[in-house]
Amino acid sequence: MSRVDLARAAGQLRVRSERRGAVHDVAVSGELDVATATSLESELTAVEAGDADRIVIDLAGLEFIDCAGLGLILHADAHCGRGGGGRLTLLHGPPHIQRVFDMAAVADRLPFAAR
């Protein structure tokens, strides 16, 4: 099991990344926006390049997400091979975060799972 904690002061995004067997958990908290998206993007690129069977992104700690954050989640979904062999699972964020996915009309096509 490996664990990496990344704290980014700019925009206050925190990324916790931890490998547990065949699953790699990535939990984000704070603000995922144009100023902080590169922090999560860097971590997801490294995780996607690994051999984890499943990548779980937990959005429960998010306080804010903008179109850059939304785009990053959509890119991660596309990059993890959504069609039959998708490795990505998203765990719901707070209601105000989920509303962003709903308003963008993408919530139904993303791999959200119940907690």
Please provide the DSSP assignment of 37-78 as one string.
HHHHHHHHHHHHHS--SEEEEEEEEEEEE-HHHHHHHHHHHH
pLDDT tens digits for the chain (115 residues)?
A: 455 555 544 468 999 999 999 999 999 999 999 999 999 999 999 999 999 999 999 999 999 999 999 999 999 999 886 544 689 999 999 999 999 999 999 999 999 997 7
User: How far apart, in whole angstroms, are the C-alpha atoms of residue 87 and residue 99?
Assistant: 24
Share in percent of the chain as helix, strand, coil (round to 5): 35, 35, 25
- Spatial CB neighbours of 102, under 8 Å, sequence gap ≥ 6: none
- Tokens (6 digits) for 22: 């065949």
- Tokens (6 digits) for 87: 């490795």
